[in-house]
Every structure is written in structure tokens, then in C-alpha cells.
Amino acid sequence: MYTTKDTPSWEQKLFLIYEICQILQSVSPLEEKLYIILTVLTAKEGFGFNRAALFLVDEERNMLEGRMGVGPVNAQEAEQIWETLRQEGKTIYEYIEAYQRLPKSGVSSFDQQVQRVRLELIPNAKPPITCIRNKKPLIVHDWRNVCIEEAFSKLLVGGQFACVPLVVKKKVIGLVLVDNAFNGKTIVESDIKTLLVFANYAAAAIENTMLYKSLSEKIDALAAAKEKLNRVHSRFKHYDGYAAMGRLAAGVAHEIRNPLNAIALNIQIVKDIQQENHGESEFEIKEALEVVTKEINRLDGLVSEFLAYATPSRMELKYLDLHDILYKVLKHKISYSQTNSIKISHNFCHDLPRVLIDEEQIRRALFNVVLNAIQAMPNGGELKVYTGLIKDRSCVCIRIEDTGIGMSKDVRKHVFEPFYSTKIDGLGLGLPIVEKIVEKHGGEILINSKKYKGTNVEIFLPAKELKIKTG
């Protein structure tokens, strides 16, 4: 990056390095610091190289990855850039201050080329990997006469280039590439010595920024873990009582179910007899029997919920398509939603992988969430279902949103507690069952809700198979 300023002396460069290092010590995003470093390398007030690129080491993948590049890709673009800079006449500090208003990485052609570079850090690697292996700067006077990494050669235009490792506490975290591809100025040893001084400061700034980011992420993760721990602790502070209640509920449920079945069968027989007779009270009898039958079915459903929560069930795991299960759940509730003026829509991820799940349990969990959403919209509304793949967490996400009555903050704290319900006829086991099923699958459920503003339920399930489906 050239300006109209005079070429600085060696002392001026050292003073500039000092001032820039002060700026790099501030807390700012990594991309901004990379931009500042490369701006110093390409500005005429700084080192005045035609182009500069920065690469960082990915230790987990054992790869060198291109992160950012500043400079033109050909002579014509170089002339256009230099002419623009001459007209603007900005100093290096003005460019740094204007970072937020400037195009970010990935915009220029050279930057895009740099970001596509991936080099494996193997023992017998070629330049520029040798710069990392040896922890020493490297000047290549004509790369066309040297065997270098093929992916790296696509960045080069002129004959000469230089690489300087970014070293922190004897560990190489990356490297800087510089060249004078368009003005042809030779890079000499004195240039590299000054560049090494700056590279050491730059490496420390980059390392500190990455450590700060990692620390921030860990703090956020710890805060989330603490919140979940508090929720679990609150829910199970009377665990012994719940365990005893669960055993009791399981026994009572088994004892109740058989009489319920017998009653339901006998009521059906009475209804059949009534159909053959035509007394004056026939309509009232039938109506009463319908109510009794409905209540028995409801009690049977409550018993089923008791059993689902109180007794462990064996999981039959298979790789299944979540969309198939979601379609069945939504289809089952469409008739009810149409009656209640509820619009149902979905946006499913087209490359969602199959997941290892128990079909019946996951269907039950999704059914409970969808049912809750519909029941939260007695006057109509909109139900939206989304699916997505979160690759960095290796999981799939199902998000179910409604525009219903929502929940207060206090109610939201208790939604996973067994037997807690705001419904008149609710047992308070629907969401606890959902959470139990999701956690048994190694997943997580999160709920966001505001009073009168709807509810958003997100279910995360591990994606054991990350291959994209075909067909």
C-alpha cells in the first residue's frame, strides 16, 4: 500500500514499529489486528512491500492456513491502487483508524487467493513450510527456479519473495509473506532484519488476541454450564422424593391401567346396546357415555405420561431422517391447527444428515413440543419449524417457534420441573419428558420465551453421520 509520503529511514521505521505495537496491544478482533499488521508491511511509510499475506498454523489439523492478504494480483491492478492512494494522500494511521469503513478480508482478489491456501505441515515439506520448520526467515530470489508448494505458487507473480516466521515463546504460530512483484525492488537482508523485529511484536499480539478469544469462549461456556447446573440442581434438590414418587407412580399406573381398559370396553358394549333401543333418554345416555369415554382416555394418557417419566425405557437406536418424523408429527396436528386458525410452515435444511435416534421417543418429544406450541395459540397464530446442521458443534438443530401467549421469566425457570404446570388440566410432565428424551440421546434443549411474544424451542442432537445425504 503506497502513499505519497517519502520513504522512511531505518530510525523512522523503528519508531513506527513502536507506535504500531502500542496499537496492537489494545483489545480488538483478530481480523482487525491482521489488517493493521499487513497495512504496516505494505504502506510506504512502513516497510513499503508491494504485497503481504499472513498465514496461521492450525495445530489441530496440522495445517498452515491463509488468513488475509493485502495487495494487487497483477500490474494493472497495482497501478490503479497506487494512483488511488496518491490521490487520497492518506497516512498509515488514517488507514488504520478507518478500518471499520474499509472493505474487509475476502473482498480483494489477492485476499481471496490467500484465504484459499491450505498447506499440510509435513516433515519433508517445501518452501514456505521450511520457514516454519526451521523457525528462520527465508528469501527466495526466483521462485520459478525453486521447488515450492504448488498451492503457494499460485499466489506468486514476480520472481522474488520472502517469508518470516511468527514466533512466540519458541513456538511458530504462522508466517508472513512479502514481495515486490510489481516495482521489482529487491528484498535484502536488512529488510528482513527489521521485518523480524516487527514480526516478533506482531506474533505476540496475534497470540494474545487468540488467547483472549479462547478465554472469552471458555468463560461463556462456563457461564452456560453454571446456569444449566443451577437448573439441574434446582430441579433435583428433592431427588430422593422424586425417585420415590416415580416408583410409586409406576406401580399405581400398572394397577390402574387394567381397570381402565375394562371400563372402556364395557362402556362400548353399553353404547352398542343403546343403539338397538330407542328410548326417550337415549341421547342423554349416549352423551354421558361419550363424556365418560373421553375422561377415561384422558386418564389413560396421564397414566402413559407417568410411565414415560417414571420408568426407564430401552432405546432402539437407528440412523433415521428427522424430517420424516417431523412430517408425521406436523401432519397429525394439521387438522387441529386448521380448526384453530393456526398456520403451520417449515424450512428444512436440504443436506441434514441422518441421526442415531430412537424413533418413537424422538417422535414423542417433538409431538409434545408441537402440541405445547399449538395449545399456546388458542386464538390462532403461526407455528414455524426449522432444521439445520451446526458443523462446528457436530450436531443438528430443530427449532420450533410459535406466536402464542409465551411465558414469563418465572414460569420459564420451572418448565422442566416434574409436575409443574400452568394448565388447568396439565400434569406437568410434557417438557420434563422431552428433556429426558433429548438428554438420553446426548442432546440439549433450550427454551426462549417472553410473555405475549411467543416461544422458541431449540433441540440439539448429536450428528453421528456427517456425510451429506443423496437422493
pLDDT digits (tens, 9 = 90+) for 120-139: 998 877 888 999 999 999 99
Instruction: List, in order of start, the domains of the chain with CATH numbers.
Output: 10-215 (3.30.450.40), 239-310 (1.10.287), 317-462 (3.30.565.10)
**pLDDT for the residue numbered 422:** 65
Count of beta carbons in the 10 Å neighbourhood of residue 220? 10
Kindly list the strands in the beta sheet with 51-58, ordered across the sheet, starting from the edge strand earlier in the chain: 118-120, 63-70, 51-58, 171-179, 161-168, 138-140
d(CA 148, CA 132): 14
Q: Is 435 left (phi over 0), alpha (psi -120 to 50) or beta?
A: alpha
Distances (CA, A) of 73 to 2, 3, 31, 52, 78: 15, 19, 21, 11, 7
- pLDDT tens, the chain, 471 aa long: 444 345 566 677 677 777 777 778 777 888 888 988 988 888 877 888 999 999 999 998 999 999 999 888 877 776 676 666 666 666 666 666 655 545 544 467 889 999 999 999 988 778 889 999 999 999 998 888 888 888 888 888 878 999 999 999 899 999 999 999 888 899 999 899 989 989 999 999 999 888 888 877 777 776 776 676 666 656 555 555 555 456 555 555 555 565 566 566 656 655 665 555 555 455 555 555 665 666 666 666 666 666 565 555 678 889 999 999 999 888 876 655 555 788 889 999 988 999 999 998 999 899 989 988 998 898 889 999 999 998 877 899 999 999 998 988 888 887 777 666 666 555 566 788 888 889 889 999 999 988 888 999 999 999 865 444 333
What DSSP element (H or E) covers 75? helix 75-88
Contact 136/162 with Cβ under 8 angstroms? no
Contact 420/414 with Cβ under 8 angstroms? yes
Nearest residue to 263 via CA among 235, 293, 242: 293
**pLDDT for the residue numbered 392:** 79
CA geometry: angle 466, 363, 316, nearest 5 deg:
70
d(CA 46, CA 21): 13
d(CA 385, CA 294): 30
pTM comes to 0.48
d(CA 458, CA 224): 15
**pLDDT for the residue numbered 3:** 42
Distances (CA, A) of 163 to 150, 177, 183: 16, 5, 18
pLDDT digits (tens, 9 = 90+) for 323-344: 999 998 888 766 555 557 888 8
